[in-house]
Chain A
């Protein structure tokens, strides 16, 4: 059993080890090791396109995760008291959002927005009341955040709802009986109980957006997210710079994971 587990871990880590190893390659090619060097880390960190892509990814992931968490939680709360057709419609939408493959979402968003912008831009230009040129609607941050947020929001609704299902409703009733305002009840009773769900939803939403390639590939327009940049670098012919980027992202996420774990542990001990 142990040997089996070890084998699976080896399977999981050998490719990652190779990526990390070649990030220290002195040579230009990603397949022959020609001596130790950290030059590719310097190159990656001083490459304005890498930094730009990183910033774009971070902005999009943060914005879409915040909006998705906020609107998703609101929807999950409201859906508690909704029955009938509206409830059915929302359930269907959530189901479809999770089910439809990212590639279809990406392509559908692309052609819908390109067609829509094709209609709207001339109208906008015609009715623009100011002297300056009318702004052109185009793919970019907006479409990225909206498309990423969609799937993330569905995730948040599902997670928060699952959390609420396990909630002790008698506490809410007790709080109301004791004369608390609905807002007070929400803040002091409901929110603390569903908060882990909200946090988990936010983290998942952030990770999904930060890692997504396929939707961004279609709707990023002239923006470049980190995965899109990595994809075009691989096509260009890989240099160890890409390995360095991958290794850095991995190291940062490991650090975050360990920190989060440590904070949780301490919190548990404090209780």
Chain B
């Protein structure tokens, strides 16, 4: 074919070397690839917790008794609550309004009497519904603590509590119910979206803005070589970000990695290809860094954050939104990482999701391939 063919290896290595020099010298690339993962990990590993722990609650007993003191002691013994005794219901309500407590447990005046009757004593639980998540957690934990206390009471009195079903919950995969254990693996998807899509779209737009693309175009290098150079460099950078995140997740945050590391690496590579494909597709539409950044954040980063199942469970979304999540590349990868970290090599989850990733990668890289021509118009 053309004489230009022979120099393809030289051109590609030249382009790759250029990309790496630029990555090393431009602090913003390093920041997105390495500082951002550390920042997000610390934020989600330490700062964000979807668990209730040491929740302040107020206990109001209209007629304080041995029983109410006993229940208070049981609450104090649990790490979920920091109970305090309020003198009256209005006083407790005031504390709830001020946000000093997240819930009120109200024991009525006939608490002790009805406790010993056949149908048992009711308790009233008031929660602050502004923070719906915490409210639901408090409600659930109080109910659990109440059940446990009743059972203990009955056992002490030597009578068997009359329950139709004896519920013995056993939690699989994340037995301590730590939200960190599923948030941190999900971060791998977020960080790789940032590097693959956002960073790549930005650096491509920069080539247009600075006029370097025009200069590259008139060299014998073909458009696919220019794209391969970008793809190669940012693939390696993204893999670095992924390894850093996985390493910190396992060694710093003690998230168990129950599946195969190599399988994780393989799936991450598929996802990275799809993310790079998205970044390059965006760069064929937007030739200014500002526009490219906006599109990348709205079209890739935010959906990866909100609609991938990273934080919010896809199963509890409205049907329409659930349907939309099928278009979000990150959802397939979040399903894979969460499974690989917490459950292990569950092939029935991994195979279909990996197939979806491969398909998405092919679609986006295909679009880029077709759209990129060595023409300015």
Do A and B come together as binding partners?
A: no
